Amino acid sequence: MQTNDRQITELMKSINEGHAQLPDFQRGWVWDDSRIKSLIASITNNFPVGAAMFLEYGNDNIRFKYRTIEGVDIQNTTPSELILDGQQRLTSIYSSLYSSKPVHTRTDKGKDILRYYYIDIQKALDPSVDRVDAIISVPETRVITSNFGRDIDLDISTQDKEFEKKLFPLNIILDYIKIQDWQNKYYAYYDYDVNIIQEFTKFNNLLVMPTMQYKMPVILLGKETPKEAVCQVFENVNTGGVSLTVFELVTAIFAMDDFELRKDWEERQAAYFSGDLLSIMNATDFLTACTLLSAYKKGGTVSCKKKDVLNLSLTEYKKYADDLTAGFVEAEKILQEERIFVSRDLPYSTQLIPLAVLCTLLAEGNRIKITNIKNKIKQWYWCGVFGELYGSANETRYVNDVVGVMDWINDERNLPKTVQDAYFNPMRLLTLQSRQSAAYKGIMALILKNHCMDFISGREMDFTVYKSENIDIHHVFPKDYCEKQGYPKAKWNSIVNKTPLTYSTNREIGGVAPSKYLAKIEAKGEVTSNTLDIYLESHFLDVSDCRNDDFDKFIIHRAKTLLNVIETATGKAISGRDSEDVINAFGDKLI
């Protein structure tokens, strides 16, 4: 990697001749009129505008489809360099200070407009005037009007009118011959007035020539730079604008073979990934899963790190993309069976990747439909959730789990790493206070999976009810009641005192003791006492504790039950249920 300063005239000539182009992953530039004027002001003041980053282009290490900067007419020219960072600045400079075409920009409100940029010679020389105020943009007609077009505020539609208003066209400021031509005609227009010549000479010396000599730092990556390094360096340098993702790079690589990856993903996304659960998956996630699937199918060492995704071939993508899509759909069905219905309740979005790959692999011979196999998939899934193992270093775990689960399915003795590593500390129940954690979401799903029923309607909280009745997580012993009783927040605000309820039922509960709100529900004749008890039990709630308002016993009994449920889901015994810490925190053993 090299860094050097390049003269702006050299950069613009390189862009204009097609020697410097954009890789196809770069999006269209979006700078508005005000920002372009600020950029021009900085350059004409000789202020720094940040570095650009280029990549030497011309070998087989990195093959991207490329395109010229907007406004460049050259075609069928292979670039010697690709612009990785600085596209918007360089495009703005090229179109406003070099190209003869009007600049395609936007208003502050996002409306597309075409503009030419001028600088007021007298204002530019006045030290009391902010440079940006000396720069004006005019429509492509070069006429500014008001009163719905009836009044002309400024007309510089001819060169003589430019001379009259002393407005210098900025799109010639980097071309010495054009500057000289404009200057000669400007002098002639004023009959070679000494004051005019002196004024323009000062303008030329203080602004025009320094702008022509303006230099911009350029970081140049050598052509031997690996693809993953290009991606990483870009992420580190590009602190603003559109970040470069692995997907953008692969899109540009596939485009060399005339395959539109972005279009393929957008169509796939609209058809299969637009539901509440799968909408959380992005294009890079899909490529990571495809790389993992392809690597497993090839045999040998399996890996799906960034460098592996960047080396995914178009042939491999085409071979597996449709099957993988079906695998994601199957994964969604499994999650819904486990009562995870929407993305906000998904413990780990990252765990969807190996789950989908496993579903794809097991679709062969329809093995995913075999109860024993599906149960192993679910056990592995819940071990990941309650072991809270998918928070970091995921690519390695993806590989370990896909390989490990497939080995486990084929041989009972080969436990996958996530099943081996999973451990749930009973004390964790009290620290699960909000839905941000995976285990918190997991416990809610297991309560729903127990066919829990609404306290008033008795409707089971299946997918339809969950969507239509605004199901959310609420306190069993209400917050207001607990605070008045002085119960410790660590207990009453933990997952142990929470359960899924409809909005209308929670509103009916209010802030009173359980015995009171249960009696209130019964008094309205909406449900009998015996039936209501069944509803409570479907939430793993001890009926006696609730009806007697026995908070301490309630916490102990429900904690025991939740630990039992977690053991069943993970297939692993939870140790430490009778530890000193547990007894001190809960008031009793949780055995």
pLDDT digits (tens, 9 = 90+) for 26-37: 566 668 999 999
pTM of the model: 0.75
* 387 and 307 co-located in one domain: yes
Provide the 8-state DSSP code for 205: I
* 11 and 154 co-located in one domain: yes
How distant, in Å, are the alpha carbons of 335, 357, 361 from that of 409?
19, 14, 12
Taking a C-beta distance cutoff of 8 angstroms, is the pair 540, 450 a contact?
Answer: yes
Which pLDDT tens digit goes with each residue over 146-166?
A: 988 889 999 999 999 999 999
Does residue 303 sit within a domain? Answer: yes
* 38 and 133 co-located in one domain: yes
Does residue 234 sit within a domain? Answer: no
Does residue 253 sit within a domain? Answer: yes
| Range of the structural domain that residue 371 is part of | 245-421
* pLDDT for res 255: 82
* 379 and 450 co-located in one domain: no
Q: Which residue has the tokens 């605000």?
A: 493
* 453 and 561 co-located in one domain: yes
* 392 and 478 co-located in one domain: no
* 397 and 440 co-located in one domain: no
Pairing of the two strands 20-23 and 81-85 = parallel
* pLDDT for res 238: 53
* 436 and 412 co-located in one domain: no
* 174 and 43 co-located in one domain: yes
Does residue 447 sit within a domain? Answer: yes
Total domains in the chain come to: 3
* 441 and 561 co-located in one domain: yes
* 39 and 110 co-located in one domain: yes
What distance in Å separates the CA atoms of residue 252 and residue 23, rounded to the nearest whole number? 7
Q: What percent of the chain has pLDDT over 70?
A: 95
How distant, in Å, are the alpha carbons of 323, 330, 361, 381, 401 from that of 333?
15, 5, 16, 14, 20
Q: 441-456 in b/e burial notation, b at 16+ Cβ within 10 A? A: bbbbbbbbebebbbbb
* pLDDT for res 60: 63
Task: Give the residue from 355, 387, 421 where a domain finishes.
Answer: 421
Provide the mean pLDDT of the chain.
Answer: 92
Does residue 282 sit within a domain? Answer: yes
What distance in Å separates the CA atoms of residue 28 and residue 416, rounded to the nearest whole number? 46
Which pLDDT tens digit goes with each residue over 401-442?
A: 999 999 999 999 999 999 999 999 999 999 999 988 999 999
What distance in Å separates the CA atoms of residue 145 and residue 235, rounded to the nearest whole number? 44
Taking a C-beta distance cutoff of 8 angstroms, is the pair 347, 338 a contact?
Answer: no
Structure tokens at 410: 């084929």
* 408 and 435 co-located in one domain: no
Cα dihedral value 328, 333, 339, 343, nearest 10: 30
